[in-house]
Structure 1
Amino acid sequence: MTTNPRRQLRPTDVKRLNRTWRRNTEGRLALIVESVTGPFNVGSIFRTAAAFGVEHIWLAGNATPPTNPKAQKTALGTDRLVTWDEPVPVVEAVRAAKAAGFRVVAVELTGDAVPLHEADLSGDVCLVVGSEDHGCSPALLEAADAVCYIPQVGRVGSFNVGVAAAIVVAEARRQEWAALEPAHALHGE
């Protein structure tokens, strides 16, 4: 009797699969969330961060904390799975990330920004997303080690900040995992 490889995994199988990916993930990831005020965006960023193993989130500027009831609705309690700090001035957040051993890479459209897929997101990296309206502040861009942007080909000029954070965190992990053996070999197929 053969099993259907396309069936949804049972919860125990999902835990086993996730444990395998965790064992094969060594790069440290962190985020700086600068002046993101929309609580649903903050909740979404925390949920994504928890799913991808982000170890720390520095809130900066006037960012809404994940304890906001509306943020909690989207985060679904994941703020307890990621260490985070109350909002501080952005340069202080960058300093703290660098002191913790992270290279700081802002996500913004600047003259020197490289496309996301060409950005070096290896090693211990802290990704930065800026406010919904104005993006990353000039002070943050000056303090960052590098800048990248998400290429877009549609008729819309920007992503929602929660979506942008998910894309860049996923790309950082993808770059790390691309160096591993094929995924089927990781979970015993």
Structure 2
Amino acid sequence: MRRQLRPTDVKRLNRTWRRGTEHRIALILESVTGPFNVGSIFRSAAAFGVDTIWLAGNATPPTNPKAGKTALGTERLVTWHEPMPAVDAVKAAREDGYAVLAIELTSDAQPIFRADLGRDVCLVVGSEDHGCSPALLDAADGACYIPQVGRVGSFNVAVAAAMALAETRRQEWAALPDS
């Protein structure tokens, strides 16, 4: 009979996946202003082991009460930096050893499943209305997009961030030997 895992079993399972995780992930949130989106991104970031989040432009900080309501305290588990200009955030990520990839529909973007995510990578998501700024796109090392087949033109920014984080870890874990 199938049963849900008990909290101790969940901790054991998560510890097993952590042992198979070598690469670092970071995020840049450029002008993501919706506090519920910010809170949701922080919660996903904590779940996928994101090391650092740089806030850029006029991004809402996780200290916003509405962001905190969605993050459920997970903002304490991820190092984050106060908002700065987007190009400065890209520079900081690069200086910390990350390749910077925007999650954005651009003329040269590749599908995310083909992007080289099996390394230390900083993923960038842009504002709810306009995506990433031209300055950030010029500063990034590349761009990738999440393929869609439906009739909607884009994902919610928090959903896109979670999907990109999941694909980044999936690529790393897919290379693990079967145990």
TM-score norm. by structure 2 comes to: 0.99
* TM alignment of 1:148-163, pairs within 5 A: 148-163=144-159
1:35 alignment partner in structure 2: 31
Determine helix, strand or coil for the equivalent of 1:128: strand
Instruction: State how far apart, in whole Å, the 2-side matches of 1:154 and 1:113 are.
Output: 19
Determine helix, strand or coil for the equivalent of 2:169: helix
Instruction: State how far apart, in whole Å, the 1-side matches of 2:12 and 2:106 are.
Output: 41
Instruction: State how far apart, in whole Å, the 2-side matches of 1:27 and 1:123 are.
Output: 5
Which of 22, 28, 34 does residue 26 from structure 1 map onto?
22
Cα RMSD (Å): 0.6
Instruction: State how far apart, in whole Å, the 2-side matches of 1:108 and 1:169 are.
Output: 14
Which of 168, 171, 177 does residue 172 from structure 1 map onto?
168
Instruction: State how far apart, in whole Å, the 2-side matches of 1:181 and 1:44 are.
Output: 32
5+ long unaligned stretches in structure 2: none
How many matched pairs?
A: 179
2:83 alignment partner in structure 1: 87
5+ long unaligned stretches in structure 1: none
Aligned identity (percent) is: 78
1:50-109 Cα deviation digits (max 9, x unpaired) = 000000000000000000000001000000000000000000000000000000000111
Instruction: State how far apart, in whole Å, the 2-side matches of 1:59 and 1:159 are.
Output: 20
Determine helix, strand or coil for the equivalent of 1:92: helix
Runs of 4+ displaced beyond 6 Å: none
Instruction: State how far apart, in whole Å, the 2-side matches of 1:54 and 1:28 are.
Output: 7
Indicate the structure (1 or 2) with the bigger Cα radius of gyration.
1
Which of 67, 71, 82 does residue 71 from structure 1 map onto?
67
2:107 alignment partner in structure 1: 111
TM-score norm. by structure 1 comes to: 0.94
Instruction: State how far apart, in whole Å, the 1-side matches of 2:23 and 2:3 are.
Output: 31
Instruction: State how far apart, in whole Å, the 1-side matches of 2:93 and 2:168 are.
Output: 17
* TM alignment of 1:140-151, pairs within 5 A: 140-151=136-147
1:9-59 Cα deviation digits (max 9, x unpaired) = 110000000011011100100000000000000000000000000000000
Aligned: 1:46 with 2:24:
no
Instruction: State how far apart, in whole Å, the 1-side matches of 2:174 and 2:79 are.
Output: 27
